Structure 1
Amino acid sequence: MTSRRSLWFLIVISTSLRLAWSASLGLGNDEAYHYLFATHHDWSYFDHPPMLALVERLGIVLSGGVVSPFRLRLGFILLFAGSTWLMARLTERFYGPRAGFLAALALNLTAYHSVAAGAFVLPDGPLLFFWLLTLDRLAVAIDSGGRLGPWLGVGVAWGAAMLSKYHAVFLPVGTFLYFLLEPTARHWLRRAGPYVATAIGLALFSPVIWWNATHGWASFAFQGARALGGLRFRPDTLGAAVLGQALYLFPWVWLALVSILIRNGRRFFSPSETAPADRFLLCQAIVPLSIFMAVACTRSVLPHWTLVGFLSIFPLLGRKWEEEPARLHRRIVVFATLLLFAATVVLVQTRTGVLQQGGEGTLGLIKVSRDPTLDLYGWDEVSRELERRGLLDRPNTFLFTSNWYYSGHVAFATRNHATPVACYSAGDARSFAFWSKPSDWMGQDGILISMNGRSVEPHCFDRFFSRIELLGEFEVKRSGTPIRKIRLFHCVRQIVPFPFDQPRPPSSVRTIAQSPTEESAGETKPAVLR
C-alpha cells in the first residue's frame, strides 16, 4: 500500500472511531460551557476567541440544526481529519511521503491530540488545524522565490489560528527567529511578504481586539494573568508540567519528541549542521516551549499549553521512524493498542462506573470523588428531575448554580426549555458575567441547584432574595452508587443584584464565589482541559 493510500486509510478509520466514541459520551465540563458560545453570538468571548463557536455551529448546521453532544463535536472531528492530512502534507514537503504518513500516524497516537483536540469541543482542535495550515503556507511562501501571493495565504491561515486560540501569537515569533538564524531565508526580513501576512492576520484578529477594548480587556487580562507568576523557582510546578506533557502525549511519544528536540538542539545554531527544514520546524517549537517552561518554573501551568511547541517536532519524528523500519511495525501496533485500550476504558468507565468504589459488580479501584469521568455522566437526570418538579418554563424564573461549569451543564441539559441559566459566582463566572447583567434578574425567582452538599449554600445568597425555601433533594446514581448529590432551593424574588460581573471577589464575599472547604466536601474537580 502506498503512503498516500495509507494516509487516507488512517483518516477514514480514525475519524470513524472518533465519531462512534464521541456519540457514546456526554459533554465534559468545558464542553458543556462551550456549548453556550454557540448560542451567544459575539465577536469574541471571555475565555477564547470566536473560532470555537464557529466550529460548533458548523457541526450543528451539518446535522440539520439539531443539538446533541455528537453534533457539537462533529466539526471538531472533521477538523482533526484535516489536521491529520495537513501534518502528512507538511512533513512530505520536507522529508517525503513515507515520513509524512508516519508523522500523521504519530499525531493520531497521542492522547491529547487524538482524543481531546480531535474529538472534544475545545479550542485546541481549531488551533491545531490552523497552526499546521500556517506552517504549510509558510513553507510554500518561503520557497516562492520572492512572490507576494503565497504570503496572503499565510496571513489568512495565521489570522484563523489567532481566532482559535491566543497561542498562535508564537507563530510569527518563531518565523522571525527562523529568518534571523537561517542564512538562506534572511532576505525575507527585507521583503514585504511577511509584513503583509502579519497585517492580514491582525486584520482578521481585529474583532477580538475590538471586543476586548469594549469589555475592559477582560479576555487578554484573564489569559495573561494565568501565565504570570512570581520570581521564586518552584521545582514542583516544573515537574508537574513535564509530567503532564508525558501523560498528554503518552510517555513513548513524548520521549521520542524530547530526544529529537535535544539531539537537534545541540546543532541548532550551526548553519552547516542543520538543514533549513529542520531549523524551520525547531524555531516554531522552541519559542512556545521555552516561554511556557519558563513560566512553569515559577507557577502552575496546564499541561497542554506547551503541546503546540511539540506539534512542530512531529515531522522530525516521522522522518526518524522512517529511518528505523525494523522496529516500526511492532511500535505502531503497540502504541495503537494502548490508545484504543485507554479510550475503551474511559468509555466503559463513564457509562458503567465499573472501576468506581461502591455499587454492584464494580472493581472498587477509584473513589467516586476522584473519578474524572463523572463530569460526562448524569446531567440529563438533573433536567428530568427539574421537569418532574415543574421547575422549568415557569414565568419570571431562572436557574442558577455557583460554578460556571455546573451552570454550563445545566444549560445544556435544559436546552430544549426556555428557562434561562445564570452563574452566581462573584469572581469567576467566566462568560456568564457578560451574557447578562446583575440587574436583569431583579424581581425574578431563582432556582438554586446546589451540588454535593456545599455548606455555604444557600446561606451565602440569603441577602439577595426575599426568602429561600428548600424544594427537595435527589441523587444521581451510576451502577447504584450516588455520584452527585443535589439540593434544590426556591429563591423567592431577588431584591439585591448579585455581583457576578465582578472580576475578583473581595475577601468579605469569598464564600459567595467559592468556599475553600468545597473540595473536602466531595466537590468534583474542575476540568483541566483548557
Structure 2
Amino acid sequence: MVAPAARRVFYAALAATLILKLLFAAFLPMTGDEAYFVVWGMHPALGYYDHPPMVGWWLSALLPFGHAEWWLRMPAILLNTFIGWAVMRILRPHRGDLAYLTGALYLIAPVNLYNVLITTDTPVILFIFLTGWAYYRALVSGAWRDYLLAGLAVGMGMLSKYFEGLVAVALAAHWLLLDRRRRGFLGLLLVAAIGALLFGLNLWWNYTHCWDNFLFNLINRTHHGLRLDGPPVYLLSLLYLFTPPLLLGLYRARGAIAQRWRQPLIGGFALFAGVPLALFGLLSFKNNIGLHWLLGFYPFVFVLYGALCDARAQRKALRFMAWFAAAHIILLGTIVALPTPALKPLVPKFYPIVVLGSHTDAVWKAAQPYAAGRHLATRGYATAGILEYHTQRHFAVFGTGSDHGREDDSLTDFRSWNGQNVLLISTNDLPASVYAPYFDSVRKIVITVQGAPISLILGDGFKYASYYAKILKPIRDSYYRFPGWLPVGQCPFTQRYFGTP
C-alpha cells in the first residue's frame, strides 16, 4: 500500500530540498566562520589552528573553479541529500518501500534544509556517517573490505574534526556489549590501525605546530565548574532536532529494541547514536553543547526509527516534519528577503557586523582609497575572513583576539610591520586612543553603510616593540601555554617572536 506513494514522496523530497538548499546557499551572504575556513583554503596546509585540515583541503580544491557562495557551499548542499539517499538504501533490504518514507523524513528535517554552510562540521558529518554505514556492513558481511572502509572513514573523520573519535568509541562499545566475535575484534583492530595511521599525520603536524588543535579544543576553550543550565538546554536541543513524533515512536518501540538488540541494524545504530549522545549529555554539565555538535550522529537515529516504526507512525512523523520545515522555510526566507536596514531593530548590537557581511563590497569601496601603502587589518577573525574572501587581499587580526580563529597567528609576522602604516577596518566604535600606543600617530574616520557606522583606523608608524609587550606576550601567555607533560617539537609563533619552541 505504501510502495508507489512512498517512492514518489522520497524523490519529490529529494528534488525539492536540493533546489531549496541551492537557493538558500546562493542568497545567503558568506558568514564569518565560513569565510575564515575559505581563508584556510587560500593557504593550503597540513593543519590549521582550530581543527584538523579537511575542510581547508576541500575548499582549496573548489577555489580554483570559482568563489561564489553557492559553489563553495556545494559540499554542504549535497551532504544531507546524499545521507538521505543512503538512509533509504540502508533500510531498503529490511523495510522495503517503507524505507523511502524514512529517507524523505530525514531530507525534510529543518536542520538539513538550512545547514548549507561550509564549515569543519561538513566533512566530519560525512565521515561519521560513512563510518557507521561501513561498520554496519562489516557486522553483516564480515568482509575485511568493509572494516577497511570503516577504518578509512575514521581516519578521514579525525582529519576533519575530533568528534569522529566519539563514533570510534561507539564501535568499541558495540564489540564489548554485543559482538564479542574473534573476527569482529580483529576487524575492530583493523579499523583502529587505519584510523590511527591517518590520524598520525595530524599528530605530527600538531607536534611541529604548537599543539594548536589540542590547546584549542582541550585547554583554551574548556570551561571549569558545573553548568546547571547545560543539561536542560541539551535536552531541548535533542527535542528540537528529533521532534516529538520521532522520539515518541522510538519510545513506543523500546520493547522491540530490547528484543532485537543483537541485530546489527538495531543494536548497531542504537549504539552509534546513543553512545555519543550520552557522552554529550555528560559533557553538558561542563560545556554548552552546540547544535552542530550533534549533527554527525543525527542520521543514525533516523535509521533506527525507520527500522522499528510502521507506516502509520512514519506518515504522522512525515506530516509533522513537513509543517515544521515549512515554518522554518517561511521564517528564514522572510529574513533573507528583508532589506538590510530592517534587520537593525532585530540585532542592534551586531548590525554593523551584519552590514559588513552583506555589503562588503560597499564597505571596501569606501575604505579602498585609504588602503594604498598600508597593511590591512581588523579586530577579529570573522571580519578578517569576510574581507579577505571578498577582496582577495590578506587582512590580519590586530589585537589579542579570542580563543577562536587564531590561524592568523601563523599567517602574519608583525615584526615586518615595524615603522609601517596600517588600515584597520572595525565594526566596533572604539576611540582612536585605543590604538595610540601602537603607532606614532592615529586618526579615525567613520563611514556609514546601510545605516551602520564602520570605523577606519589609519595608523602611521607601527610600533612593534609596544605591540610585542602589550599584545604578543599576552597572546603567548593565554594561548600558547604548554602543559609540562606535553613534548613540543616546534612552535612557529613562539619561535618567531620569543625564540623558544
CA displacement at 1:208 relative to structure 2: 1.7
Equivalent position to 2:202, from 162, 187, 208: 208
Assess if the C-alpha contact under 8 Å between 1:19 and 1:70 holds in 2: yes
1:150 aligns with: 146
2:331 is the alignment partner of 1:342: yes
Matched residue type, 2:447: F
2:217 is the alignment partner of 1:241: no
Assess if the C-alpha contact under 8 Å between 1:103 and 1:318 holds in 2: yes
Equivalent position to 2:271, from 280, 283, 291: 283
How far apart are the structure 1 equivalents of 2:272 and 2:422? 50
How far apart are the structure 2 equivalents of 1:286 and 1:325? 21
Query: What is the DSSP-based 3-state SS (H/G/I as helix, E as strand, rest coil) of the residue aligned with 1:426?
Result: coil
- Structure 1, 304-313 or 151-160: larger mean CA deviation: 304-313
How far apart are the structure 2 equivalents of 1:326 and 1:309? 23
2:380 is the alignment partner of 1:412: no
2:101 aligns with: 102
CA displacement at 1:505 relative to structure 2: 7.1
How far apart are the structure 1 equivalents of 2:221 and 2:457? 38
CA displacement at 1:261 relative to structure 2: 5.7
Closer/same/farther in 2, CA of residues 374 and 488 from structure 1, 3 Å limit: closer
How far apart are the structure 2 equivalents of 1:503 and 1:202? 35
1:467 aligns with: 441
Query: What is the DSSP-based 3-state SS (H/G/I as helix, E as strand, rest coil) of the residue aligned with 2:66?
Result: coil
Matched residue type, 1:242: L
Matched residue type, 1:423: V
Query: What is the DSSP-based 3-state SS (H/G/I as helix, E as strand, rest coil) of the residue aligned with 2:181?
Result: helix
Matched residue type, 2:349: S
How far apart are the structure 2 equivalents of 1:258 and 1:267? 15
CA displacement at 1:75 relative to structure 2: 2.8
Closer/same/farther in 2, CA of residues 458 and 241 from structure 1, 3 Å limit: farther
2:457 is the alignment partner of 1:494: no
CA displacement at 1:374 relative to structure 2: 5.6
2:363 is the alignment partner of 1:382: yes
Assess if the C-alpha contact under 8 Å between 1:426 and 1:501 holds in 2: yes
Assess if the C-alpha contact under 8 Å between 2:35 and 2:382 holds in 1: yes
CA displacement at 1:473 relative to structure 2: 1.1
1:369 aligns with: 349
1:171 aligns with: 167
How far apart are the structure 2 equivalents of 1:311 and 1:329? 15
2:493 aligns with: none
Q: Matches of residues 66-215 of structure 1 in structure 2 within 5 Å? A: 66-92=66-92, 95-116=94-115, 119-145=116-142, 147-182=143-178, 185-188=179-182, 191-215=185-209
Assess if the C-alpha contact under 8 Å between 2:424 and 2:458 holds in 1: yes
Closer/same/farther in 2, CA of residues 191 and 330 from structure 1, 3 Å limit: closer
Closer/same/farther in 2, CA of residues 166 and 76 from structure 1, 3 Å limit: same
How far apart are the structure 2 equivalents of 1:78 and 1:204? 25
Query: What is the DSSP-based 3-state SS (H/G/I as helix, E as strand, rest coil) of the residue aligned with 1:490?
Result: strand
CA displacement at 1:331 relative to structure 2: 3.2
- Structure 1, 7-16 or 488-497: larger mean CA deviation: 7-16
Aligned length: 468
What does the per-residue CA deviation read over 1:189-240, in whole Å, with 9 as the maximum and x for residues that have no partner? 76422211221122222222122111121112211237744353x3222223
Matched residue type, 2:80: F
Matched residue type, 2:335: V
What does the per-residue CA deviation read over 1:152-196, in whole Å, with 9 as the maximum and x for residues that have no partner? 1111122222222210001121011111111xx210576422211
CA RMSD of aligned residues (A): 3.0
How far apart are the structure 2 equivalents of 1:298 and 1:231? 6
Assess if the C-alpha contact under 8 Å between 1:28 and 1:375 holds in 2: no
CA displacement at 1:294 relative to structure 2: 1.3
1:361 aligns with: none
How far apart are the structure 2 equivalents of 1:189 and 1:245? 35
How far apart are the structure 2 equivalents of 1:292 and 1:108? 24
Q: Matches of residues 224-239 of structure 1 in structure 2 within 5 Å? A: 224-225=218-219, 228-232=222-226, 234-239=227-232
Equivalent position to 2:52, from 49, 52, 72: 49
2:409 is the alignment partner of 1:437: no
Assess if the C-alpha contact under 8 Å between 2:80 and 2:107 holds in 1: no
Matched residue type, 1:148: W
How far apart are the structure 2 equivalents of 1:272 and 1:398? 64
Query: What is the DSSP-based 3-state SS (H/G/I as helix, E as strand, rest coil) of the residue aligned with 2:435?
Result: helix
Closer/same/farther in 2, CA of residues 327 and 74 from structure 1, 3 Å limit: closer
1:522 aligns with: none
Matched residue type, 2:370: L
Closer/same/farther in 2, CA of residues 336 and 380 from structure 1, 3 Å limit: same
Matched residue type, 1:382: V
2:4 is the alignment partner of 1:23: no
How far apart are the structure 2 equivalents of 1:335 and 1:323? 19
Matched residue type, 2:418: M
Closer/same/farther in 2, CA of residues 502 and 288 from structure 1, 3 Å limit: farther
Closer/same/farther in 2, CA of residues 374 and 384 from structure 1, 3 Å limit: closer
Q: TM-score scaled to structure 2, two decimals?
A: 0.84
CA displacement at 1:343 relative to structure 2: 3.1
2:490 aligns with: none
Higher RCO (C-alpha under 8 Å, 6+ residues apart): 2
1:391 aligns with: 370
1:403 aligns with: 380
CA displacement at 1:43 relative to structure 2: 0.7
1:517 aligns with: none
Assess if the C-alpha contact under 8 Å between 2:108 and 2:325 holds in 1: yes
How far apart are the structure 1 equivalents of 2:79 and 2:358? 26
Assess if the C-alpha contact under 8 Å between 1:110 and 1:339 holds in 2: no
Matched residue type, 1:199: A
- Structure 1, 208-217 or 322-331: larger mean CA deviation: 322-331
Query: What is the DSSP-based 3-state SS (H/G/I as helix, E as strand, rest coil) of the residue aligned with 1:413?
Result: helix
CA displacement at 1:44 relative to structure 2: 1.4
How far apart are the structure 2 equivalents of 1:486 and 1:352? 15
What does the per-residue CA deviation read over 1:244-290, in whole Å, with 9 as the maximum and x for residues that have no partner? 4444x2xxx3334544565667887x566664421111111222212
Q: Percent identity?
A: 23
1:476 aligns with: 449
How far apart are the structure 1 equivalents of 2:243 and 2:321? 15
How far apart are the structure 2 equivalents of 1:274 and 1:432? 50
Q: TM-score scaled to structure 1, two decimals?
A: 0.79
How far apart are the structure 1 equivalents of 2:90 and 2:354? 35
1:311 aligns with: 299
- Structure 1, 52-61 or 14-23: larger mean CA deviation: 52-61
What does the per-residue CA deviation read over 1:420-440, in whole Å, with 9 as the maximum and x for residues that have no partner? 310023152521112223323
Closer/same/farther in 2, CA of residues 23 and 97 from structure 1, 3 Å limit: farther
Assess if the C-alpha contact under 8 Å between 1:321 and 1:328 holds in 2: no
Give ranges in structure 1 of 5+ residues lacking alignment: 358-365, 508-530
Closer/same/farther in 2, CA of residues 438 and 266 from structure 1, 3 Å limit: farther
How far apart are the structure 2 equivalents of 1:408 and 1:166? 23
- Structure 1, 438-447 or 211-220: larger mean CA deviation: 438-447
Query: What is the DSSP-based 3-state SS (H/G/I as helix, E as strand, rest coil) of the residue aligned with 1:411?
Result: helix
